[in-house]
Amino acid sequence: MQIEVWAPIARSVVVHVVAQSGAERYDYSARMDLNRAGWWIGPDVAPAVDYSFSLDGEGPFPDPRSASQPSGVHGPSRTFNADAHPWADAMWRGRDARGSVFYELHVGTFTEEGTLDAAAERLEGLASIGIEMVELMPITPFPGRHGWGYDGVSIFGVHEALGGPEALQRFVDRAHAAGLGVCLDVVYNHMGPSGNYLAKFGPYFTEAYETPWGWAVNLDQDGSGEVRRYLADNALRWFEDFHIDALRLDAVHELHDHSPRHFLAQLSDEVAELANRLNRPLSLVAESDLNDERLVIPTREGGRGMTAQWDDDVHHALHAYLTGERQGYYVDFGSAECLDATLRDVFWHDGTFSPFRGREWGRPVSPKRDRRDFVVCAANHDQVGNRALGDRPSSRLSPGAQAASLALTLLSPFTPMIFMGEEYGETRPWMYFTDFDDPALAEAVRKGRTAEFSSHGWEEIYGGPIEVPNPQDPATTRASVLSPETAVGFPHDELRAWFAELIAARRLTLKRGAWAKHPARFEESAPRVLTLRGPVTLHANLSDAPVDLPGVTPIATFGDVAATPSRVTLGPDSLILVDAPKG
């Protein structure tokens, strides 16, 4: 394979190559030739060869398109032959993101080993409980060994501590064999601060816009054509070379682009062309804070063409209702009317005034829009990990409220997503953790984290003063590892059984078109006594006293339920599922 790099601002580029052939080690440097529009061409090399670049005598720097960084984000890149893997998924026909049951997981804390190969050992188990799409948090190289992955700096690579690119191919193969699709979380709106050498090579960033992380990625200024190509080629590569089924695009509202054709529309069209060529569905799922239906409107109709988008309003409405929390952005949510509106209309803020933002926010969603175009959850990495102590809803909610949370997610008209461990009520925290090798950056993150949680009423929520965990402490990472083996007995086993009942109900009754016949309706007949009506009906008593209902035949129960032909009594913290009326 030939080494090449885009470096339009360089006057000279030298590539440094280190190769091993048997007992012989080859270490040499070669000047590269300027070929076309800022692209420099170097020698042909074999796979598993280390190389780096010096630009005008400065460096060496890793390749912006590096597939592997075995020595970390500051070290040399390593060539990788994506075609060497003996794929066993020739019969895989793909899986559309819309309507699939998602399972978000962080590879580093999903198992004790924290690797892709270890995570692959649990894929059959996820498939057996009804999961259909596994969503991996970012796995591109980042500083240190442990981290969330959103500080990645080499978007074409796979973090070495997780197993490297070969391990990702093995993971996807294993997932497809189990009938699972794989969604990969990618970050195109910024790069991490440590090990980020892109600006040395070219105009990857622009000062024309500001983001929460500093300069924006350059999508519409001078040199942006190659930057857009850099991102689009990355997306297409995950689909083609790694057989990924879907990409989750992080915070697309921070992709600032005023070009005649927005980058997301360009990407959507290119992914659609690749899907036609590969003859399998390829999905793009956008995270957005804008509450704007235009993200999922096809490009031919003037939209951005995303397959689906995250809907945080459903999470906020559900979390605030069940927990009673009203700090931060939860101040806008919490009522039964709010939860009912989000389940029917997608967004609570669809042009309405947001007290938290101090302005009108969002746009209405067409009643004809397929609700599967929106991904909803009761917990995810942001909403858990960005709490002061990383505490999960399961550590604060009663077992019945956890069961209700699962039901309202899985039986909604949307595409549901479960955060790892939620299916059995994992109570271990999932905290924010880092492993930065820059002491100044590590200290800045620690202080910033502490300052962030000195407000927003966290002491009131936790019942007193709190000590924010140090993200750099290895104990913070260890404390966030899942513990399914020890999560046994009440309520974990009961939640596992309830989860299975919900999946069965979803498969049997929530078929295409079912929501048109039975639109979602959330009701609260008394404080903490709720009903969700749809293709199946959920009755939940989260109060402290028994509740009587007219006689029905439950198809699933949770907690203390006594049923006779004439009456059903729901004990405190109990739920039932009932078939929808026929006709």
pLDDT digits (tens, 9 = 90+) for 32-71: 999 888 999 999 998 999 999 999 999 999 999 999 999 9
- Stretch among 16-20, 401-405, 544-548 having the lowest mean pLDDT: 16-20
What is the average pLDDT across 412-439? 96
Q: Does 12 score more than 60 pLDDT?
A: yes
Question: For residue 246, what are the β-bridge partners?
Answer: 183, 283
Q: In the predicted model, is pLDDT for residue 308 greater than 90?
A: yes
Q: What is the location of CATH 3.20.20.80 in the chain?
A: 102-478
Q: Which residues contact 313 (CB under 8 A, 6 or more apart)?
A: 291, 333, 342, 346, 347, 348, 349
Taking residues 70-86, report their average pLDDT: 97
- Between residues 398 and 214, which one has the greater pLDDT? 398
Range name among 118-127, 283-292, 301-310, 436-445 with the lowest pLDDT average: 436-445
Question: What residues are annotated to the active site?
Answer: 250, 287
pTM of the shown model: 0.97
Of 535 and 206, which is predicted with more confidence? Answer: 206
DSSP string spanning 462-531?
HTS---PPPTTSHHHHHTTS--TTT--STTHHHHHHHHHHHHHHHHHH--TTHHHHS--EEEEEETTEEE
pLDDT digits (tens, 9 = 90+) for 201-220: 999 999 999 999 988 999 99
Mean pLDDT of 215-226: 96
As beta bridge partners, residue 30 has 15
Structure tokens, 186: 């990618």
pLDDT score of 508: 81
Is 2.60.40.10 the CATH classification of the domain at 2-61?
yes
Bridge partner residues of 353 (DSSP): 360
CB 39 within 8 A of CB 24: no
Q: Give percent of the chain above pLDDT 90.
A: 88
Residue 365 is predicted with a pLDDT of: 97
pLDDT at 457: 72
pLDDT surpasses 70 at 511: no
Domain ranges in the chain with CATH number 2.60.40.10: 2-61
> Taking residues 363-389, what's their average pLDDT?
96
| Tokens (6 digits) for 532 | 């969700």
CATH number of 102-478: 3.20.20.80
